Structure 1
Amino acid sequence: MNVCAEENSMIWRNLSAGILLLVVIIALGVYDSAQLHSYLVGIENWIAGLGFWGPVAFLGLFIILTFVFFPDSVLGATAGALFGLWLGFAVVLFGAIVVQCLVFGISRHYFQQRVQQAIDKRPKLVAIQRAANRKGFRLQFLLRLMPLNPVMVSHVLATTGTRFGVFLVACLGLIPGLFVQVYTGYAAKHMIKAAGAPGEHATIHTMLVAGGLVVCLLLMVVVTRVAQAAIVEAETEP
């Protein structure tokens, strides 16, 4: 599968983005930490005032935007900043699964011919399609671990012979990437707030949050490389 060079580039872009985020957070905190802290507190109060409808509204927005290929990484980080780590992750994971199911169903039943025509113009997508037909669940799960657009992958898989149940279970491979996205937003908010009100946040906690972000990014690099190697191996098997 001719995706190695592109995926290596995406891995390092993701890692570089995480490091850049830490630098930006520190710079913002030094520049005007008190104002940023006040702004974040105001957003938190506004979200809390929405109650149940805050996460529901964000879920709807997430589904609509990712369906039309808006970067889920941006929305994942936003969810982490707005709702915290676990609620943000739950909202994003549920939204991502819903979107993948919608894309799969619509592409398979209504636009399969058009999607196939688009796939035929891109050798990378043709390679994914052929490998998915040969390897089924194992390769689909590995594809979900890769830094590929999930909606694009779902469109491709809808043109294969895979069953919906297999497709749905394989979507669980999205969990590591989505968690890192949400954690990035959560860590960014925490560190900005810690810079604006140092007395309210233990230094060791802030260091653990920052360290956790670095660990998450490094683990994603490792997981992606392992998945990439497994996909290449599957492609070369007779």
Structure 2
Amino acid sequence: MRNVSLSKLIPAIVTVTLIGSLVLLYFLHQEFQDFADKGWTVLTSGDEQRIKNWISSLSYWGPLIILAGFLVQMFAFVIPSWLLIVVSVLAYGPWRGGGLALGGVLLASAVAYAIGQYLSEYTVQKLIGKKSEEKMKTYLDRYGFWLIALFRLAPFLSNDTISFVAGLSSMRFRKFIAATALGITPLIGFVAYLGESTDRLKSGLIWSSVIGLIGFAAYVWWDQRQQHQHHD
């Protein structure tokens, strides 16, 4: 097991403390439990308009709920991160909502990276599956920065999986968070541009995923071609 200093363990300690506090609050405070149950029902409904109305009714708690949602969805895969981006933009507009979504993605990515870095590989495999972890780690070791950026651009890919595995890899945090910001910013801008039409948003997200996948496939093809040329 790797030796790490207490200062390096702070992100993991804060994360565990926060999650533990919320769990205790859920079981010890009935009003919070009712609120959490309703929020879970709404956020997992997949109904953008219903989610928007609920978030809007929360006043200044709304942004905090969205940020918490980005953290929760790392472990609750039934709440996709792209849905929270859409809700942020629909509820608070392109600028405030876009900024909130960017903050949420960066926050969740940083926490997932810390979890991957400070927990064992076995634990991460239990969270995301051994095959997914091994496959993702192989690609990360090979393609690193651009793989993360392209995964962020494609909303239907497993963004949190790659964050966990990035923490296990040799990639530095600054490089990881820069790749995350580079990939997610165009996606958020695209969502903001498409506006309040949910049909346009869904079509746009599908096209964004297709473009991301094509971009990654093209990059892999180019890289392998370069490798063959070096060997010849």
Partner of 2:218: 229
Counterpart check, 1:57 vs 2:65? yes
Counterpart check, 1:107 vs 2:116? yes
Structure 1 residues 178 and 232, CA gap change in structure 2 (3 angstroms): farther
Structure 1 residues 83 and 119, CA gap change in structure 2 (3 angstroms): closer
Larger Rg: 1
Name the amino acid aligned to 2:87. Answer: T
Larger relative contact order, structure 1 or 2 (CA cutoff 8 Å, min sep 6): 1
Matches within 5 A, 1:111-126: 111-116=120-125, 121-122=130-131, 125-126=133-134
SS state at 1:153 partner: helix
Structure 1 residues 106 and 120, CA gap change in structure 2 (3 angstroms): closer
Number of residue pairs the alignment of both structures matches: 179
Counterpart check, 1:68 vs 2:76? yes
Name the amino acid aligned to 2:186. Answer: P
Sequence identity percentage: 22
* Structure 2 residues not aligned, in runs of 5+: 1-47, 228-232
Deviations, residues 137-174 of structure 1 (Å, cap 9, x unaligned): 23332333344111111112222111111111110212
Q: CA deviation at 1:133?
A: 1.5
Q: CA deviation at 1:47?
A: 3.0
SS state at 2:157 partner: coil
Q: CA deviation at 1:65?
A: 3.0
Asked whether the 8 Å contact 1:183–1:213 carries over to 2, the reply is: no
Partner of 2:144: 136
Q: Give the structure-2-normalised TM-score.
A: 0.60
Q: CA deviation at 1:220?
A: 5.1
> Which of 149, 157, 165 is 2:174 aligned to?
165
SS state at 1:169 partner: helix
Q: CA deviation at 1:93?
A: 1.2
Q: CA deviation at 1:219?
A: 5.4
SS state at 2:73 partner: helix
Asked whether the 8 Å contact 2:74–2:112 carries over to 1, the reply is: no
Asked whether the 8 Å contact 2:141–2:169 carries over to 1, the reply is: yes
Deviations, residues 163-221 of structure 1 (Å, cap 9, x unaligned): 11111111021223344456667223xx9xxxxxxxxxxxxxxxxxx5x8866754553
Structure 1 residues 142 and 82, CA gap change in structure 2 (3 angstroms): closer
Matches within 5 A, 1:175-214: 175-181=185-191, 186-188=196-198
Name the amino acid aligned to 1:234. Answer: D
Q: Give the structure-1-normalised TM-score.
A: 0.58
Structure 1 residues 216 and 140, CA gap change in structure 2 (3 angstroms): closer
Name the amino acid aligned to 1:165. Answer: R
Asked whether the 8 Å contact 2:89–2:192 carries over to 1, the reply is: yes
Larger fraction in helix: 1
Give the whole-Å Cα distance in 2 for the aligned partners of 1:136 and 1:174. Answer: 16
Asked whether the 8 Å contact 1:104–1:155 carries over to 2, the reply is: yes
Name the amino acid aligned to 1:127. Answer: K
Structure 1 residues 66 and 139, CA gap change in structure 2 (3 angstroms): closer
> Which of 86, 90, 95 is 2:104 aligned to?
95
CA RMSD of aligned residues (A): 3.9
Partner of 2:93: 84
